Structure 1
Amino acid sequence: MMVPAALLLLGVLTALAGPRLLARADWSDREPVVALWAWQCVVAAVLLCCALSMTLSAATAWQVVRGHVFAPAPRGVVEAYMSGAAGPWAATTAVVLALAGAWSGAMLVREIAGARARRRLRRAELAVRAPRLPGETSDAGRLVVLEGERADAWWLPGTPPRMVVTTAALRRLKGRQLDALLAHEQGHALARHDWLRHTSAALAAGFPQVPVFAAFRGEMHRLVELAADDMASRRFGRLTTALALVELNEDRGVFGPSPAPQAHVPQRVHRLLTPPDRLAPLHRLRLTATAALVPVIPVLVAFVPGLRALG
């Protein structure tokens, strides 16, 4: 089988098997950081399969590309990749995959541009509702308190980043609950969860017919919240973090008989109140290493003909 076709087949198998294996895993809620890493490795492997297949197909179809890809390679290596290659299909495959890659890039640019536009609007609103006080020279690390009847708090990334909390949240959250809430939002900022959300949203919007990307987006939104909950609970305790979540969302109807808008909040509270046993450090290390090997497999498949020719 041609290497580009083998890579495409490997990408399809990874896209089908990866989400199913991760969905059946009983450790994802126990170790959300490891699960985030595993999902990123699966998606990276799928994208790498497509990129390598596109490159080798283009090298097969066009001499100019072949000269750049195999410039330092011996003649035997080039012949190993070119033997048995189908020219017309190679050109079609390369063009289709290149268009898919360009479309992915465009979706990512659109997602980031939209996020920045929304961020500018929120910053402009903050400048009006919470102007800089006399004597303030910098907004870096500034905690902004907004007058509001709805308890809420969020981290606004950018330069400089800001933590925003409403007066309703200050009234509702008691003692260390506010600290736990702020630690949760800081956890998102420190781990750069906004980039995971942008990337997963861009892939899901660009290729809605590909289930792995839709599953990737859904799991990113769920797992980043669990990871931030764990970061807050390690500093201020699980009970305090759970109570902060309850106080913050009690008026939003998420704990009612049909909590449709944010059904994950009750699950997060239950997880904090009944914490699952964490995996042993060696087990976490094995899972992390196994996930890291998934994107390596396409690279090994791509290099098999060259290694055989050299051997």
Structure 2
Amino acid sequence: MNTAPALVGYTAAVGFVAPRVLLRSSWPHRAPALAAAVWHAVAVSFSIAVALSAASLVMPNDHLHAGLAGLLRTCGLGAGALRPDPDIADRLAVGIPAVLGVALGVSFAFHLVRARRVRTQHRAAVDLVGRHSTRLCATVLPYDVPAVYCLPGRRPRVVISEAAVRRLTPQQLDAVLDHEQAHIAGRHHLVLAAAEAFHAVFRWVPLARHVREQTALLVEMIADDRALRRHSRDVLATAMYEMAAARAPKGALAAGGRTVLIRLKRVLGPRTAPHPALWGSMAVLAVTVPLLPLLLACPFGLG
């Protein structure tokens, strides 16, 4: 039986319907780390579904598993499933998923290297112009514009302007510095690079656009939650307000920016953790959703 209709339908649902469902849900802002994992799991599931859909469209009805033996080994197929004389359809069925995987990998590497190059150049300028503050564990720049941001990577830096040091109270200063340290410790630049890579390959799909936008928002919320472990909501909120108009260079992560209004409402609003049942179900979803296209393909291919 041909798997194409089922796989194409699943791909369309994940790429166009799933983002709307997630965006209308209220729980992601209460569990941003879990929400980021779910968004990325859905992106992985979509990528696998696209590969399998393409393979099923070019393969004869009864040869999907033979052509994808290497990719669908979880279906219980052995190496002997491959036909001794594969034709063009067989090669396309393996080649298309391979090309897609390479495209995603190359895109991820490209965004990672490009951001690293920009950060390296900016880090050199920061080290040349700024002065290291042992008390703040940050590099202080002699700028009259308030700014606080971090340069993640192998040699991370937290950068703060003298104007921000003067404007923020000691408690507010500690809160925004904790926020930036959370970005560095969480390696959020890798998560953002993965979202950018997915968007670059599938930019025509709503899921890709929303994965990039929501990942950028959710990593900021994760850093906010880290700062709230040591500081009150009022302290963090006022610090975010002061830094709302601050800009960060490319490749950097900042406590301010265009997401401040959404995050301010979240920080100052009622804070309720997701119900354990909801949290558990979403965690299971994050783990299992990448496997759904394979599980969908197996019964049809075995028939």
| TM-score > 0.5 by shorter chain | yes
1:220 matched to 2:223:
no
Higher mean C-alpha displacement, 17-26 vs 122-131: 122-131
Identity of aligned residues (%): 29
- Determine the structure 1 residue equivalent to 2:114: 114
Deviation, 1:38, is: 1.3
Q: Equivalents in 1 of 2:233, 2:125: separation in Å? A: 34
Q: Equivalents in 2 of 1:66, 1:226: separation in Å? A: 42
1:187 matched to 2:187:
no
Paired amino acid for 1:233: L
Higher mean C-alpha displacement, 8-17 vs 186-195: 8-17
Higher mean C-alpha displacement, 38-47 vs 151-160: 151-160
Deviation, 1:232, is: 0.9
Structure 2 SS opposite 1:163: strand
CA-atom RMSD in angstroms: 3.6
- Determine the structure 2 residue equivalent to 1:277: 272
Q: Tell which structure's C-alpha radius of gyration is larger.
A: 1
Higher mean C-alpha displacement, 15-24 vs 281-290: 281-290
Higher mean C-alpha displacement, 37-46 vs 263-272: 263-272
Q: Equivalents in 2 of 1:63, 1:264: separation in Å? A: 48
Q: Equivalents in 1 of 2:97, 2:152: separation in Å? A: 33
Structure 1 unaligned runs (5+)?
134-138, 253-260
Paired amino acid for 1:225: E
- Determine the structure 2 residue equivalent to 1:7: 7
Deviation, 1:52, is: 4.7
Deviation, 1:172, is: 0.9
Deviation, 1:171, is: 0.6
Deviation, 1:267, is: 2.2
Q: Equivalents in 2 of 1:78, 1:107: separation in Å? A: 32
- The count of aligned residue pairs is 287
1:295 matched to 2:290:
yes
**CA contact under 8 A between 2:131 and 2:139: conserved in structure 1?**
no
- Determine the structure 2 residue equivalent to 1:201: 196
Q: Return the match for 1:240 from 213, 235, 238.
A: 235
Deviation, 1:94, is: 4.6
- Determine the structure 2 residue equivalent to 1:128: 128
- Determine the structure 1 residue equivalent to 2:159: 164
Higher mean C-alpha displacement, 288-297 vs 53-62: 53-62
Q: Equivalents in 2 of 1:244, 1:17: separation in Å? A: 37
State the Cα deviation string for residues 55-83 of structure 1 (Å, max 9, x = none).
Answer: 7768948989868977x9469x939xx8x
- Determine the structure 2 residue equivalent to 1:268: 263
Q: Equivalents in 2 of 1:279, 1:186: separation in Å? A: 26
Q: TM-score, normalised by structure 2?
A: 0.79
After TM superposition, list the pairs within 5 Å mapping 1:84-103 onto structure 2. 91-92=91-92, 94-103=94-103
